[in-house]
Structure 1
Amino acid sequence: MSLTRTQQVQTNGSSATIPTSPFLPVFCAAIAGGIFIADTITPTEFAFGVLYVGVVLLAARFLQWRGVVLVTLGCMALAVLSYLLSQHYVSPGLAVANRLLSLAVIGVAGFLAVQGHSRELVLREQAGLLDLTHDTIFVRDRDDVIVYWNRGAEELYGWKKAEAVGKVTHQLLQTVFPMPLEEITAELFRAGRWQGELVHTKKDGTAAIVASRWSLQRDARGHSFAILETNNDITERKRVEDLTGQVFESSPDGISVIGRDYRFQRVNPVYERIWQMPADRLVGQHVGDLLGTKFFEQEAKSYLDRCFAGESVSFEGWFAHPAGRRYRIMTYSPLRLHSGQVEAALAIIHDLTEHMLASEALRAAQTELAHVNRVTTMGQLTASIAHEVKQPIAAVVTNTDAALNWLGAQPPNLDRVREILGQIADDGNRAGQVFDRIRALVKKAPPRKNRFDLNEAILEVIALARSEVLKHDVSLQTGLATGLPAADGDRVQLQQVILNLILNAVDAMRGLGEGARELLISTEVDAAGGVLVTVRDSGMGLDPNDADRVFEAFYTTKPEGLGMGLAICRSIVAAHGGQMWASANKPRGAVFQFTLPPESDETARAEPTGGGLVV
């Protein structure tokens, strides 16, 4: 593409018709007529017919190739007609030779004009195709003056063709280069091409980052005459990359990229602090070199292989670390390129050590508080417990006296004595069971999760509180479902919840002057397959507005209460994966309910054996 042709394409666009002056065809016809007259009256030794070449070339400026062919044939016909009409003063052979020469020159001129017109048409069509692309394409000469500017360039930069053509490209666009322009130019002329990222300024003053490709255009002799520059707008992509880079660098988590060769490709500052090693030492290092070959082969490699296969892997636990054991959540996510193949793994380490230590301290405090609450509750039941123990002891004394009397009879009634001794043993066991239940509730022991019969545990609590219930004329009934799934949790803690709810219900009905004092404890299987426990009383009732506040710490309606019992109960139920709530009973009283999940709420921890390092 020569400079002249480039300018023509720029001017003419993709149109198939070259715009010309309306007087040009008339002028062309007048010249043809003048040549015909001159050729006719001039002696044959003068080859005036050659002048028709000018007519053909002039016609090529405003006609398409078919029109050029017709003009060429017309000029050749005029040349023949002139020969026939002219006087031949010389030999006929010379006249024919001159006429054939004229016809040949006219034909060659027409052929070249048609060929040139076809090339121009191809160039115009190519220019039209360049206008269809969204990329910016423009051509500049060796002095960086723009000679072609496509529609993509207009849309990106805001300057129309007429405004851009003739301007120095780097001045118009205020180009910011990644290196000195002299070095770029040297590379362009050495290799014939250059590519890189440039920053251009649009007409409205905003910046555009482009991926730029330069190609040097040479002529047939190898001399450079133009530079084709193609630019792809990557402003948004660079902005996203910058934001992503900021996230990578400023993230509070340790982030690294691990290649399929198990070597670190990139690490962030947090990762450097975790391993107390600069990035330039970590990058390129094999995971096994950092963690140890044994741990890498037994643990880390399997997780990474799953990630390279396309799976997102996450695990957590306590891990060894140069600064001590740390609790971390580790995530491997596959990174894919355009091919869709996993090229690397994005490894993220989230440190939860402080959170886990705080959680353990909180659980210890809650356990201690729950123990204090149980001891306090048992103190409130002192009179009832004394009565509960006094009954079997009194029976033991009575039965002992009776046994002595039967032994003193003549003859001794040994069968009767044996029967009474059996009753004494039963009463002793009753007293022992009371003490066992009390010791289990007041004993300070860490939480233990076991599977147990919840109905049986509820009946044990009812037996312990029976005297308190009877003392306040409360009618306690049970509706315990048969075939109830086994509960999974700490038996003592859940018995504490039941005991608190029973005593609260009894206390709520203590001041009633009239009406039945009824307490119903029921169990059933809920919709999720777990267990639903309900404690329903006919006491003073519950304000619907306070249905949730009763579980707040230190909230109480009792003058002597601390407001911790229900708060502890809800925390115990929550620790078992369940929920607890309260509502008003109909026609009066309150209903307290809680659920326990069908299975243990704990999830298995994927912790490397031996407390190995984690990457």
Structure 2
Amino acid sequence: MRTEQNQVEYTATPPTIVRSRALAAIGAAIAIVVFILDTITPKEIALAVLYVAVVLLSAKFLQKRGVVLASLGLMALTGLSYMLSEHDVSPGIALSNGLLTLVAIGITAFLAVQSLSREMVLREQAGLLDLTHDTVFVRDMNDVISYWNRGAEELYGWKRGEAVGKITHQLMRTIFPMPLEQIMAKLLRNGRWEGELVHTKKDGTQATVASRWSVQRDGRGRPVAIMETNNDITERKQAENALRLSEAYLVEAQRLSLTGSFSWKSSGGEFFWSEESSRILGYDRTTKPSLQLLMQRVHPADIDRVRRVIDRASREGKDWELEHRFQMPDDSVKFVKVVARAGADESGKVEFVGAIMDVSAAKQAEQELRQAQADLVHITRVTTLGELTASIAHEVNQPIAAVATNAAAGLGWLEAEPPDLDKVRATLGYIVQDAERAGDVMHRIRALAKKAPLRLARVDVNEAVLEVIALTRSELVRHGVSLQTQLATGLPLIEGDRIQLQQVILNLILNAVEAMSSIDNGTREVRITSEREASNAVLVTVRDFGPGLDPRSVDRLFEAFYTTKPSGLGMGLAICRSIIQAHGGRLWATGNEPRGAVFQFTLPLERGKTVPAEHAGGASVQERNGSHSWRPPIPMP
């Protein structure tokens, strides 16, 4: 059914051809009627002038050549009618009427041909307008559309017949960038207007167009029509809006992350920075960026290092990054991290694209974190010393009791008759040594309890170990634990904080003692060794023979707040690892054979420094139950 309908439509006579044939028939009929009447009517009446109507009618469906031929035919009919008619009454009038008819036909034909020529030019011009993709339409001063090209049909969806005669702004529901009255005033004043409009299409969607209006005036200068051409920029506006939105997101992201961007062409010196970069640098956003302005903000202490990095990057064209400080006009200091990646511009020259990150807050937080860690380390040290109160008191009471005993003995030797001055002198020597011994104990306690920032210095690891052992001797005796040391001779010095490293050793010894306090049978022994590791570090090992480590919890031993003790806080080993890592070392734990645990840590060496032999640990030292009380030799007078 559909196929038959399409076939009928395809074979049907076009409406234009039907109209032309009808006009041709009418013209022919008029010509015949005029010819008959002109022939039979007396020549005093110029009926042949009616041929002019046929000429005008032929111009509606014939081209220029056809009009000329039709006019010549009508002139021939006029002449034939003159020859067939009788001219007895007034032959002069008949001749003049015939000549008048020929002149009228000729003039009418000339004017019709001229009109067809102008119409053809206009039609060709209109055809050219149909070739453009831009929309072109003409409207009168009342905004009624009189011309609508093919581009307008394609863009808006209305055919020419649907649009012509409609009021343009009502048809397309135009959205103007300003009141229409202002646009018209500018158009009539300048003859032209340009701007962006939003039109609604036939399907209801909107199109953004770049519109250009020009006014047409008559011979007296009065405006009679407006030609409007529109270029569809919907996709471009969408891309511009998306780009603008993306740029807004980027600016906001840079503001929130305190990260600015920049680009630098080292060859030509061209420099660009983002709004956030200008804020970080402390410049107004209208300031023209340059490398010189950036360098003016670099801290004097960092300027040489920054220049070296930039000069090398400019020569080599490679990626670079660095951290340094900016000194602002108000003398405040900002910490920044700069990262740049090398690339090439359109001409192939090196161009760096990078980011400036304001890390001042991170640096401050890092300092506060270090301070908090230091405070926590100090609290842990004091807590540990509190747990050792009984042992410390015993360690101090021993030399004090010896001082009192030796003082009483000295008084007795002085009261003897005669006084035994040699024994008094020896007794006073004992008193001095016991007092120094008590002072050493108190000095170590004060050093461990003192709250002080991290102080790096040359440290003899063996000496630090022995000082801690002196503090824990009574604790070892109280729990029935023996301690052996195997400290390597000639160990190089390490660079670190002596007090913090002693806290690590103290914590590991006390953990070992506590682990073995629940063992009823077997060896209760702690072994401490030191040696030089092949990786240019000192290795310290604390080995016990307690119940050992649970394989399932070995990986969590150094986590904060993880503990296997009923009353433990779970901070001791976490702090120990933090201290060792801050010194550039490593702390780990393994199982001991046949039982027990082994804790080991490494500390990097201070290059070129070696512990003198007299300060190394010497040979193996053993301290067991009952052997913790010791006295140096009696000095001779």
- Shorter-chain TM range is 0.5 to 0.7
1:273 matched to 2:275: no
Going from structure 1 to structure 2, the CA distance change for 1:498 and 1:299 (only over 3 Å counts) comes to closer
Is the 8 Å Cα contact of residues 479 and 517 (structure 2) preserved in structure 1?
Answer: yes
1:524 matched to 2:534: no
1:326 matched to 2:334: yes
Secondary structure, in 3 states, of the residue corresponding to 1:309?
A: helix
CA deviations on 1:361-405 (whole Å, 9 max, x unpaired) are 111111111111111111111111111111111111111122222
Partner of residue 399, structure 2: 392
Correspondence list, 1:278-289, <5 A? 281-283=287-289, 286-287=292-293
2:544 counterpart letter in structure 1: D
1:561 matched to 2:568: yes
Residue 592 of structure 1: CA displacement?
Answer: 1.1
Partner of residue 423, structure 2: 416
CA deviations on 1:481-528 (whole Å, 9 max, x unpaired) are 122221211111110011011111101111111111011111122231
Residue 458 of structure 1: CA displacement?
Answer: 0.5
Secondary structure, in 3 states, of the residue corresponding to 2:394?
A: helix
Partner of residue 141, structure 1: none
Going from structure 1 to structure 2, the CA distance change for 1:303 and 1:262 (only over 3 Å counts) comes to farther
Partner of residue 254, structure 1: 260
1:314 matched to 2:321: yes
Q: In 1, Cα distance between the equivalents of 2:606 and 2:482? A: 34
Correspondence list, 1:82-101, <5 A? none
CA deviations on 1:9-37 (whole Å, 9 max, x unpaired) are xxxxxxxxxxxxxxxxxxxxxxxxxxxxx
Question: 265-274 or 569-578: which moved more?
Answer: 265-274
Q: Which has the larger radius of gyration?
A: 2
1:270 counterpart letter in structure 2: E
Secondary structure, in 3 states, of the residue corresponding to 1:598?
A: strand
Correspondence list, 1:128-143, <5 A? none
Question: What is the aligned counterpart of 2:458 among 451, 463, 474?
Answer: 451
Q: In 1, Cα distance between the equivalents of 2:434 and 2:347? A: 82
1:353 matched to 2:349: no
Q: In 2, Cα distance between the equivalents of 1:432 and 1:296? A: 47
Question: What is the aligned counterpart of 2:483 among 476, 490, 493?
Answer: 476
1:414 counterpart letter in structure 2: L
Question: What is the aligned counterpart of 2:381 among 355, 368, 374?
Answer: 374
Correspondence list, 1:105-120, <5 A? none
Q: In 2, Cα distance between the equivalents of 1:377 and 1:508? A: 16
2:263 counterpart letter in structure 1: V
Residue 479 of structure 1: CA displacement?
Answer: 1.3
Q: In 2, Cα distance between the equivalents of 1:554 and 1:373? A: 13
TM-score (norm: length of structure 1):
0.54
Partner of residue 552, structure 1: 559
Partner of residue 508, structure 1: 515
Is the 8 Å Cα contact of residues 538 and 604 (structure 2) preserved in structure 1?
Answer: yes
Going from structure 1 to structure 2, the CA distance change for 1:519 and 1:431 (only over 3 Å counts) comes to same
1:519 counterpart letter in structure 2: V
Is the 8 Å Cα contact of residues 306 and 313 (structure 1) preserved in structure 2?
Answer: no
1:326 counterpart letter in structure 2: K
Residue 282 of structure 1: CA displacement?
Answer: 2.7
1:583 matched to 2:590: yes
Residue 421 of structure 1: CA displacement?
Answer: 1.0
Residue 438 of structure 1: CA displacement?
Answer: 0.3
Going from structure 1 to structure 2, the CA distance change for 1:288 and 1:487 (only over 3 Å counts) comes to closer
Q: Which runs of 5+ in 2 are unaligned?
A: 1-130, 132-153, 155-242, 608-637
Instruction: Say what the alpha-carbon RMSD is for the aligned residues.
Output: 3.6
Is the 8 Å Cα contact of residues 267 and 282 (structure 1) preserved in structure 2?
Answer: no
Question: 249-258 or 300-309: which moved more?
Answer: 249-258
Q: Which has the higher contact order (CA 8 A, sep 6+)?
A: 1
Q: In 2, Cα distance between the equivalents of 1:245 and 1:457? A: 60
Question: 587-596 or 408-417: which moved more?
Answer: 408-417
Going from structure 1 to structure 2, the CA distance change for 1:339 and 1:451 (only over 3 Å counts) comes to farther
Partner of residue 539, structure 1: 546
TM-score (norm: length of structure 2):
0.52
Secondary structure, in 3 states, of the residue corresponding to 2:377?
A: helix
Going from structure 1 to structure 2, the CA distance change for 1:247 and 1:367 (only over 3 Å counts) comes to same
CA deviations on 1:400-443 (whole Å, 9 max, x unpaired) are 12222222233322222222211110100000000000000011
Is the 8 Å Cα contact of residues 333 and 346 (structure 1) preserved in structure 2?
Answer: yes
Q: How many residues align?
A: 365
Q: In 2, Cα distance between the equivalents of 1:599 and 1:313? A: 30
Q: In 2, Cα distance between the equivalents of 1:395 and 1:477? A: 27
Residue 279 of structure 1: CA displacement?
Answer: 5.6
1:571 matched to 2:578: yes
Correspondence list, 1:58-97, <5 A? none
Residue 350 of structure 1: CA displacement?
Answer: 2.3
Q: In 1, Cα distance between the equivalents of 2:307 and 2:549? A: 59
Q: In 1, Cα distance between the equivalents of 2:564 and 2:291? A: 65
Going from structure 1 to structure 2, the CA distance change for 1:557 and 1:347 (only over 3 Å counts) comes to closer
Going from structure 1 to structure 2, the CA distance change for 1:504 and 1:294 (only over 3 Å counts) comes to closer
Is the 8 Å Cα contact of residues 333 and 347 (structure 1) preserved in structure 2?
Answer: yes
CA deviations on 1:427-462 (whole Å, 9 max, x unpaired) are 000000000000000111111111110110010000
Q: In 2, Cα distance between the equivalents of 1:487 and 1:390? A: 34
Secondary structure, in 3 states, of the residue corresponding to 1:327?
A: strand
Identity across matched positions, percent: 49
Is the 8 Å Cα contact of residues 302 and 324 (structure 2) preserved in structure 1?
Answer: no
Question: 257-266 or 529-538: which moved more?
Answer: 257-266
Going from structure 1 to structure 2, the CA distance change for 1:367 and 1:296 (only over 3 Å counts) comes to closer
Is the 8 Å Cα contact of residues 297 and 326 (structure 2) preserved in structure 1?
Answer: no
Secondary structure, in 3 states, of the residue corresponding to 2:557?
A: helix
Q: In 2, Cα distance between the equivalents of 1:527 and 1:247? A: 54
Partner of residue 435, structure 1: 442
Going from structure 1 to structure 2, the CA distance change for 1:459 and 1:262 (only over 3 Å counts) comes to farther
Partner of residue 237, structure 2: none
1:486 matched to 2:493: yes
Secondary structure, in 3 states, of the residue corresponding to 1:551?
A: coil
CA deviations on 1:281-313 (whole Å, 9 max, x unpaired) are 334674378549989986654443222111554
Going from structure 1 to structure 2, the CA distance change for 1:293 and 1:286 (only over 3 Å counts) comes to farther
Q: Which runs of 5+ in 1 are unaligned?
A: 1-144, 146-170, 172-240, 601-615
Q: In 1, Cα distance between the equivalents of 2:435 and 2:415? A: 24
Q: In 1, Cα distance between the equivalents of 2:559 and 2:298? A: 50
Q: In 2, Cα distance between the equivalents of 1:480 and 1:556? A: 30
Secondary structure, in 3 states, of the residue corresponding to 2:338?
A: strand
Secondary structure, in 3 states, of the residue corresponding to 1:446?
A: coil
Partner of residue 119, structure 2: none
Question: 275-284 or 417-426: which moved more?
Answer: 275-284
